[in-house]
Structure 1
Amino acid sequence: MPANLPSPTGRRGFLKGAAGALAVPAAASLVGALAQPARADDNGLPDFAPIPAASVGPTPNADGYYVGRIAGNLYWVTDSYYQSMFLTTTRGVVLVDAPPTIGHNLLRAIDDVTRANGRPGKVTHLVYSHSHADHIGAAGLFGTDVIRVSHAATAGLLARAADPNRPQPTVTFRDKYQLKVGGETLQLAYHGPNHSPDNIFVYAPEYATLMLVDVLYPGWVPFKNLAVSQDIPDWIKAQSIAMDYPWQTFVGGHLGRLGVRADGTLQIQYMNDLEASTRSAIDSVDPSPYFAKYGAQGNSWAIFRTFLDAVAETAAAPVAAKYAGVLAAADVFTKDNAWTLLESLRIDAGVLGPFGVRP
């Protein structure tokens, strides 16, 4: 395993030695080890650590959804995979996102609430957090007369997608937009790219609630490859921007529970630990075996594959162990997150390791 690799060599000596065709069984065995789960059931599926009780949200009903009040006229819906939120107003319902996994249950959830509080149940406004189909792919359920609000970049991305399930927005903004409907207010803001080029912050000031999708994951480690985000430095920055809002309740768009401020602090700590561990692993994993074996074969991609995987595994191990039982799925995605952070450190921050300027 990576922890047992030879100690780092000087870059000049390493590059000189890498030109030789050395037999390095450790490199080949490492590739095999990285490809196999540590534990597997009879079907070959990996077994992962139990989910901490604190990471679990409310149990969905028989139809597969849970709807609950956040505060006042603000509610949220989850199917334990995705989340949406909505405001009931004197004029109708303002919905934020329409995840397809919840689908028609959004209509049922809204009907549950508005029948109980006597407010109009028609969705009059639909806010798109960003363009991704997994969060707004059920937007077509709400008819053609809904006012759809998004960042200006979302309109361009949806035009390219030409997806009938994601109708074009009717109102767009670039920096800030205050949506006032039937006595209720949402403050929409764009703080630059993060998970996607168009992802926005949706704040309900009266209820001290922030919705920001695919950035903070209350009770869980971030989704694979740092949420498959398109701008890793700004995705990391967005965590701190989120914490600058005076929210008390957080809607992250994923999984089964709402967030509190301690969740944001904990994820930032996780990311700080992961970055420190990744930087350390770049220095501690000896690149010589990978250059020697695969360089002799002329297989440049194999050098990158095996070395980057070894660094990611070395970086992930202590972080996954530290957060086991604290953040759900620490053993599922920490290596993938380390790999993505490693790539960002290389190409965004210039921490090039053995791929730096040749001596």
Structure 2
Amino acid sequence: MKLLLFPSLVALLFQGSANACTGFAGVHDHFLPINGTFAANNQISLNSDGYGVSHFGSGAYMITDGAYQTFVVVSTEGVVVVDAPPTTGHKIQWAIGNLTSIPVRWFIYSHSHSDHAGGAYIFANQSHPQVTTISHENTASQLATAKDPHRPVPQITFNDRYNLVAGNQTLELSFPGIGHDLGNIIIYAPKQRVLMMVDQIYAGWVPFWNLAASLYVPGWIQAHDQLLAYDFDVYLGGHMGGPANRTAVEVQREYVQDLFDNCADALLESGSPENPTVDIGTISKEVLENNPSNIWAQFAVYLDAVADLCYNKTSEKWLGKLAAQDIFGFSHARTMVSSLRLDYDILGPNGVQ
């Protein structure tokens, strides 16, 4: 659906050569280049088979197809695999085979989503009885409901914490609470100081569409601080090229806080006639004149106007600093406005009268 933009906002949204993605992104659109950003520089070279490998020492590796990441830890008693994105699929097997002759013995689901777990059956099914599968109990419930043969229901589940001791290696699994998904977990390798939480941090980029398509935005926001409580050097977010570091988590936390503050300010400002582009009274009058009794039209235009203001304020600082703010930034503003209203009781002019 094309969004209705106010004329005073259009000029600001479309400054420069790149279009802000506040409507449908078409195949002929041109967006801001990512040249010179961390996102552009943090890429992994892929081999002729279409995958790349990063080594973190002491048997810890990342395998990627350039878009998705798998964490692999080689122990004296077997290999531990965290996630199997279907786009990487059998390439993970090839990569492990080139690293060690030790068989895979454990498979860990970071969470239930099929874009990260759709290749789990390659390692964990009835033909691989030696592989033990592990997840949070919520993920197990989701997979039991899904009945997807590509994502077998895990054998071991936990609620709060679980330590996997695999020979000479230890992985600490913990559940920070509902956020991106019902059972998205933190995976920590203390020996190698590697931390992984998938679909939480997008190093050098703004998050994926609608704040990472998160189920519960307050939990997703809180997870930034929970991650920073760990002592780590390497961060794996499951997406977007190479490994990251602590700074990437801190930068995204700053971006999300700015977005939160700007959207809260926009909601509060929408109760003032001093800014007619977001004032709910001005907007309601104009929309209802053209669409009599259409309350949904009135409210949709109002919310989009608030999100526009938040997006513009946020872009003043972050456009060109984090890749794809012009692409997904408006969706984040829209999602944040909704969460502020419903989860944080920041209702602006729609509060208690």
2:60 is matched with 74
Distance 1:27 1:337 in 2: 17
Give 1:222 shift.
Answer: 0.9
Distance 1:246 1:282 in 2: 37
2:79 is matched with 93
Local SS of the residue matching 1:167: coil
1:141 is matched with 122
| 2:106 is aligned with 1:125 | yes
Distance 2:12 2:214 in 1: 23
CA contact (8 A) 1:30 1:310 kept: no
Q: Which has the higher contact order (CA 8 A, sep 6+)?
A: 1
Give 1:314 shift.
Answer: 1.1
Distance 1:73 1:225 in 2: 36
Give 1:113 shift.
Answer: 1.3
Distance 2:285 2:50 in 1: 54
Spell out structure 1 runs of 4+ moving beyond 4 A.
26-37
Structure 1 alignment gaps of length 5 or more: 1-25
Matches within 5 A, 1:1-359: 38=19, 45-51=28-34, 52-55=36-39, 56-114=42-100, 119-120=101-102, 122-142=103-123, 143-144=125-126, 145=129, 146-284=131-269, 285-296=278-289, 297-357=292-352, 359=353
Which amino acid is 1:220 matched to?
A: W
Aligned-residue Cα RMSD (Å) equals 2.3
User: Structure 1 length as normaliser, TM-score?
Assistant: 0.85
Over the matched positions of the two proteins, sequence identity in percent amounts to 39
Which amino acid is 1:79 matched to?
A: D
Distance 1:310 1:318 in 2: 13
CA contact (8 A) 2:6 2:305 kept: no
Distance 2:257 2:6 in 1: 31
Distance 2:150 2:11 in 1: 42
Distance 1:331 1:32 in 2: 14
Which amino acid is 1:105 matched to?
A: K
Which amino acid is 2:120 matched to?
A: A
| Structure 1 pair 88–107 and aligned structure 2 pair: CA distance change class (3 A) | same
| Structure 1 pair 320–85 and aligned structure 2 pair: CA distance change class (3 A) | same
Which amino acid is 1:82 matched to?
A: Y
| Structure 1 pair 137–282 and aligned structure 2 pair: CA distance change class (3 A) | same
CA contact (8 A) 2:133 2:155 kept: yes
Local SS of the residue matching 2:340: helix
Local SS of the residue matching 2:191: helix
Give 1:154 shift.
Answer: 1.0
Deviations 1:126-169 (A, max 9, x none): 00011111110100111431210001111110111111100000
| Structure 1 pair 62–318 and aligned structure 2 pair: CA distance change class (3 A) | farther
Which amino acid is 2:217 matched to?
A: I
Deviations 1:72-118 (A, max 9, x none): 2000011121111001112221000111111111111111211xxxx
Distance 1:35 1:216 in 2: 26
1:6 is matched with none
Please identify which structure carries the higher helix content. 1
| Structure 1 pair 33–307 and aligned structure 2 pair: CA distance change class (3 A) | farther
Give 1:35 shift.
Answer: 11
Deviations 1:177-234 (A, max 9, x none): 1101121110011121111111111000000111101111111111111101011111
Give 1:32 shift.
Answer: 9.0
Distance 2:267 2:111 in 1: 34
CA contact (8 A) 1:39 1:47 kept: no
1:17 is matched with none
CA contact (8 A) 1:27 1:289 kept: no
CA contact (8 A) 2:5 2:305 kept: no
Distance 2:240 2:27 in 1: 26
CA contact (8 A) 2:19 2:31 kept: no
Structure 2 alignment gaps of length 5 or more: 270-277
Which stretch of the first structure deviates more once superposed, 158-167 or 28-37? Answer: 28-37
User: Structure 2 length as normaliser, TM-score?
Assistant: 0.87
Deviations 1:242-295 (A, max 9, x none): 000111110101110211111111111111111111112123321123311334
CA contact (8 A) 2:78 2:104 kept: yes
Distance 2:230 2:250 in 1: 13
